[in-house]
């Protein structure tokens, strides 16, 4: 009986190749709609820049806001396809009051941190800055854009519907930061793509698989049928906001509940199946269901699962693939006892099934997006990927690669997934340089 319940749930999470094909087709249709400016769950926001070519040079500041950790960097782009260097870096943790208070307070604290960074490093000259702002922003040009909605638990008031760079510039003036010019505003996916393109021009896609999920892709400008201002280039990077995709998804009751309990109900449906913020929530709901059916923990909900967000992604890592010693140590910490082998097996099976489904759904979105990509080489394509799920979750990269091959066949072998650390910071600097070069 217990075994049947567990197997049934794991089977529901197993995505077949034909389900992946359906998702791929639906993604392509939504991408077309987005590029034509029709209603679509994939926004396809123009990024107003092409992929970097490797010749970009100079020192640039980068601001990276996309989660509760906020970073300021000074980046050196050496040019000649040589690896960029982060010359100086500072990380700050934003408080719940800063991400959930007023926009004025949020941008004011960012300005304060930047001023402190400039003072600490005696940066007194004039600097161009690339701003990675990893939320759905409808760019109006390379250095201005309107926030469409908050994601990932951000909720600062007075920002949605407003111009982000304008708000940040006002805060910089208020705080007396005078020697910084925001040259470019970009999404982290675009930054990740650029950070890789600086050293590898075959990179035409950037993916984030971390707290959130999203894809940026280089497309031919002739395929963009919505207004793109005075942009002249033959290709342009598009911030897809792929996390909003909501068609052809085999949603389970757990997905529906995660959505109902989220702060952005009805939005970011595929992000809630893929990204690191939501996977532990799915595991928790499945565990609760198993407990309810008497299939786990003798029908009693352990405290760690009683409330949301106590069981975390890093715990999933351990239960999925940790050594017996590590699992036992974590079990002591979370459950106050060592789990029985059967309990351990079920918990690890659930974690693996949730992570594997995430990888397969992500693979379908990546393959579909590549179908539309404007490549620089017919034989090789690099996909730059950043984010904790891809980097740290045991076996995630392997599952993603295998799923891409399942769906794309031989073509899948030409797709190289490349971990691009700090893409959002280095990439922001690259975009600032690209923007300056293109006037």
166: annotated active-site residue: no
Q: Which of 40, 143, 189, 262 binds ligand BGC (CB under 6 A)?
A: 189
Q: Which of 117, 135, 278, 390 binds ligand BGC (CB under 6 A)?
A: 135
Distance of alpha carbon 249 from alpha carbon 19, whole angstroms? 8
Q: Which of 110, 208, 365, 385 binds ligand BGC (CB under 6 A)?
A: 208
Q: Which of 24, 71, 284, 357 is the catalytic position?
A: 71
Enter the tokens of residue 73.
């960097």
Residue 277 phi, psi dihedral angles, 5° rounding: -65, -35
Q: b/e per residue, 3-28, with b = 16+ CB within 10 A?
A: eebbeebbeebebeeebbbbbbebbb
Residue 84 binds ligand BGC, judged by CB under 6 A: no
Which stretch in 208-216, 221-229, 302-310, 402-410 sits in contact with ligand BGC by CB under 6 A? 208-216
188: annotated active-site residue: yes
134: annotated active-site residue: yes
Q: Which of 30, 50, 188, 406 binds ligand BGC (CB under 6 A)?
A: 188
Which stretch in 22-30, 103-111, 183-191, 354-362 sits in contact with ligand BGC by CB under 6 A? 183-191
Q: Which of 40, 41, 109, 134 is the catalytic position?
A: 134
Give the residue with the Cβ less far from ligand BGC, 139 or 290.
Answer: 139
Least Å from the CB of residue 189 to ligand BGC: 5
* Residues 212-231: x where in contact with ligand BGC by CB under 6 A, - otherwise, as a string: x-x-----------------
Give the residue with the Cβ less far from ligand BGC, 134 or 169.
Answer: 134
* Residues 258-297: x where in contact with ligand BGC by CB under 6 A, - otherwise, as a string: -------------x--------------------------
Which position's Cβ is nearest ligand BGC? 212
Question: Pairing relation of β-strands 235-239 and 415-419?
Answer: unpaired
Active site residues: 71, 134, 188
- Residues found near ligand BGC in the complex (CB under 6 A): 66, 134-136, 151-152, 187-189, 208, 212, 214, 241, 243, 271
């Amino acid at each position: 009986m217990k075994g049947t319940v567990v197997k049934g749930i794991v089977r529901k999470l197993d995505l077949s190749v034909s389900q992946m094909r359906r998702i791929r087709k639906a993604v392509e249709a939504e991408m077309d709609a987005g590029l034509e400016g029709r209603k679509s769950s994939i926004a396809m926001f123009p990024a107003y820049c092409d992929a970097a070519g490797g010749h970009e040079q100079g020192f640039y500041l980068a601001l990276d806001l996309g989660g509760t950790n906020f970073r300021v960097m000074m980046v050196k782009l050496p040019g000649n396809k040589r690896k960029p260097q982060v010359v100086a870096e500072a990380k700050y943790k934003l408080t719940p009051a800063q991400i959930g208070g007023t926009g004025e307070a949020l941008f004011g604290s960012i300005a304060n941190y930047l001023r402190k960074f400039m003072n600490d490093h005696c940066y007194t000259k004039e600097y161009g800055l690339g701003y990675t702002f990893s939320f759905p922003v409808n760019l109006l040009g390379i250095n201005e854009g309107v926030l469409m909605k908050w994601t990932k638990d951000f909720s600062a008031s007075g920002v949605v519907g407003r111009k982000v760079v304008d708000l940040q510039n006002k805060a910089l003036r208020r705080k007396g930061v005078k020697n910084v010019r925001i040259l470019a505003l970009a999404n982290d996916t675009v930054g990740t793509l650029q950070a890789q393109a600086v050293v590898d021009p075959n990179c035409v896609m950037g993916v984030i698989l971390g707290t959130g999920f999203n894809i940026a892709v280089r497309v031919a400008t002739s395929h963009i049928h919505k207004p793109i201002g005075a942009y002249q280039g033959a290709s342009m990077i598009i911030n897809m906001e792929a996390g909003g995709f909501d068609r052809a998804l085999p949603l389970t009751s757990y997905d529906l509940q995660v959505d109902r309990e989220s702060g952005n109900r009805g939005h970011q449906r595929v992000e809630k199946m893929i990204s690191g913020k939501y996977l532990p929530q799915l595991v928790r709901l499945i565990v609760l269901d198993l407990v309810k059916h008497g299939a786990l923990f003798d029908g009693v909900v352990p405290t760690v699962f009683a409330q949301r967000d106590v069981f975390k992604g890093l715990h999933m890592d351990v239960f999925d693939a940790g050594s017996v010693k590590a699992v036992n140590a974590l079990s002591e910490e979370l459950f106050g006892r060592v789990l029985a082998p059967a309990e351990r097996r079920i918990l690890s099976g659930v974690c693996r099934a949730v992570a594997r489904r995430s990888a397969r759904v992500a693979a379908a979105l990546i393959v579909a997006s590549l179908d539309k990509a404007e490549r620089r080489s017919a034989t090789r394509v690099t996909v730059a990927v950043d984010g904790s799920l891809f980097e740290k979750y045991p076996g995630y990269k392997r599952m993603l690669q295998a799923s891409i091959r399942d769906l794309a066949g031989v073509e899948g072998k030409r797709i190289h997934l490349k971990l691009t650390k700090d893409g959002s910071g280095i990439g922001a600097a690259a975009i600032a340089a690209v923007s300056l070069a293109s006037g």
